[in-house]
Structure formats: C-alpha cells, structure tokens
Amino acid sequence: MSAKKKRTVLVTGAAGFIGFHVAKELLNRGYRVVGYDAVTSYYDVRLKKRRLAMLGKFSAFHFVKASVASYPALKRVMKAEHPDEIVHLAAQAGVRYSLVNPWIYADTNYLGTLNIFEIARQFRLPRVVYASSSSVYGANSKQPFQESDRTDLPVSIYGATKRGNEILARAYHHLFKTEMIGLRFFTVYGPWGRPDMALFKFARRILQDRPIELYNRGNMKRSFTYIDDIVRGVVSTIERAPKGRCEIYNLGGSETVPLKHFVGLIEKQFGKRAKKILKALQAGDVPETVADCSKARRELGFRPQVSIEEGIARFAKWFLEHRDFLADLKEPKQ
C-alpha cells in the first residue's frame, strides 16, 4: 500500500447512500475515513444506522454525528482529525421535498456547503470534491446534457441550491485557489439505496401488491447510474482529477432508459406485474435527464460498466435478501 493511500478523507454524508459506498471503497483501498453526517430523519434512520454499522467494522473508520450547518462542529473535527481532503456528499436531497420544506435545503445545501468550502480554506486543504446533481440542468431542453449547457433555468429549489454550490465553488477557487471539483450525479441506484427514490419505492410496492405511480404518464427517461460506477467516478476524481482547477463533471450511466423499460426489468426480477397509476409530471421534475459523460471519460477515465439489466438484478437480489427489514422502514418524507 502506498503512502498516498493512507491519506485521511473526510466524507460528509457518510451515513447516506452514496457516502456509505464511497467511504467503504476508500476504506477497502487503504484510506483512513472520517465520516461526518447529521443522520437526519428525511428517510428512516434505521437504514442510515445499518450503513454506519457496516462502516464501523473498519478500524480506519471514525464517525462524527454533526451537521455541516454547524461551523464550530466542523472546526472541531478538522482540528481533531486533520483530514487531507474533503469529499462533500452531505445534502438535503430530493426534488419533491424541496417544495415542502425549502428551509432545510438552505441550511444544509447553501450554508452547509459554504461551511465546507470555508473550512477547507481556513485549514489550507488544496481541494474539495463535492456532489452536484443533474437537477442543475432544469429546463434546459438540449439533450444529452453537457457541462457547458445552460444551468440558469432551475425547475426545483433543490436544483437551485445545487447550482448555487457550483457558483460558490467558482468564487472560492477564484479567491483562494482551492481546487474545486463538482460531480453532477445522474439518478443513482443500487443496494442500500434511498427509500424516497423510484426504484426502492417501486420494489417495495410491487412486493406488497400496492400500485406504483408513474409520473408524466410513464414517459420519462433517465441516465440511471449504478452505484458502483458512481463510486469509481468519485475515486477516480480523488486519484486523478487535474490539479489546481475548478471543474464540473457529469457522472451518469451509459444508457438512457425509458421509465417503462425500467419498471419492466423490476417486474421481471420479482416475477410480478406492477399495478400502475399514470400521473401528470410533478412540479420540480424533468421528463428527461440524459448525461453526456465525455468530459469525465477524457479527464477522469470514467466508464460506466454496469448495464441497467445487471444493476436492477443486483438491486433486486439485495432487496429480497433484506426484504423484512426494508418492508418495515417508515415511508420517506416527500
């Protein structure tokens, strides 16, 4: 193991879906990981505690339960743990909930991200890698989405906060030369995923013989991205992103999948037909998010490897293995 691999990474959002998988992979690769997460109740905290219990088996993992909205709490962690770098994945996620409780998005996504950028500056960290989202493309209708496309037409409060983070990153880079790498994730799915997202909701409802709701009457398309591909993208960013720059990369799956095909694959895995309710497009949602990942391919070597068929099969296997635990989780806030 090289000395480089013993670096300490502060992973915010480590109890969350992507943060958990990124932290686990970094630990497997010999990094020391400090997980930082407020373990919020947006969805059932028992799922977050399960993820943390798995990370807790690694001796090189240390967990701090605190909010990114608290600058003093972040400062204490920086002083105690001396991370070499920050991967900032904590956020109030979810497009629909941002219409219900916009304040929590301001606290976590605006203030929390400002705190992360500021702490990096104060402690002279050379770089911050942070999560952005395909939601920043909003009403941009040019497909596939490229990093250079318009992002001044948000259609959700969540998307606006994520774009705000990218603009703030630019200012920090300009003023203090901190290297800033923003990753625009496209609909990530996989084992230990989020109960508020379509795949999890569909799986649970299909198995319980409850109907599923298909928005825009099922005429949606997504660059669904399997979690292992996202993890590879984040790790490549840490290990090979060009130095000293302020960059943004799309990280999305290689195929664009119509929602109806996606549902068909879940039905096939569970051997059951879904009862479908066709609904109008919801406020804040976009009918198509298709990723152009050529920049990430060129500069980070990002190449998604898991097909939608394989990804759904792996998800379904995991879901069935943990069926009782997952069926018992509270319905997420939305």
Residue 38 binds ligand NAD, judged by CB under 6 A:
yes
CA dihedral 74, 58, 328, 258 (to 10 degrees): 80
Residue 221 binds ligand NAD, judged by CB under 6 A:
no
Residue 92 binds ligand NAD, judged by CB under 6 A:
yes
CA 127/CA 275 separation, integer angstroms: 48
Closest separation between CB of residue 68 and ligand NAD, Å? 4
CA 297/CA 233 separation, integer angstroms: 9
Closest separation between CB of residue 15 and ligand NAD, Å? 4
Closest separation between CB of residue 27 and ligand NAD, Å? 17
Give me the 117-156 binding string for ligand NAD, x by CB under 6 A, dash otherwise. --------------x-x-----------------------
Whether residue 137 lies in the annotated active site? no
Residue 181 binds ligand NAD, judged by CB under 6 A:
no
Residue 237 binds ligand NAD, judged by CB under 6 A:
no
Residue 194 binds ligand NAD, judged by CB under 6 A:
yes
Q: Are 238 and 129 in contact (CB under 8 A)?
A: yes
Residue 90 binds ligand NAD, judged by CB under 6 A:
yes
Residue carrying the six token digits 């991370």: 83
How does 56-84 read in b/e, with b if 16+ C-beta sit within 10 Å? Answer: eebeebbbbebbbbebebbeebbeeeebe
Q: Are 36 and 11 in contact (CB under 8 A)?
A: yes
Neighbours of 312 (CB within 10 A): 25
Member of 10, 11, 17, 220 binding ligand NAD (CB under 6 A): 17
Residue 16 binds ligand NAD, judged by CB under 6 A:
yes
CA dihedral 291, 297, 302, 308 (to 10 degrees): 40
**DSSP string over 250-304:** EE--SS-EEHHHHHHHHHHHHT-PPPEEE-PPPTT--SEE-B--HHHHHHH----
Nearer to ligand NAD, 39 or 153 (CB): 39
**DSSP string over 75-103:** HHHHHHH--SEEEE------SGGGGT-HH
CA 252/CA 257 separation, integer angstroms: 12
Closest separation between CB of residue 262 and ligand NAD, Å? 14
Member of 18, 74, 86, 220 binding ligand NAD (CB under 6 A): 18
Closest separation between CB of residue 196 and ligand NAD, Å? 8
Residue 48 binds ligand NAD, judged by CB under 6 A:
yes
Give the interface segment with ligand NAD, choosing from 3-11, 61-69, 120-128, 202-210 (CB under 6 A): 61-69
Q: Are 100 and 333 in contact (CB under 8 A)?
A: yes
Member of 7, 8, 39, 205 binding ligand NAD (CB under 6 A): 39
Catalytic residue, chosen from 158, 172, 189, 226, is: 158
Q: How far apart are the first and last CA of the chain?
A: 44
Catalytic residue list: 158
Q: What residue ranges bind ligand NAD (CB under 6 A)?
A: 12-13, 15-19, 37-40, 48, 67-69, 89-93, 108, 112, 131, 133, 185, 187-188, 194
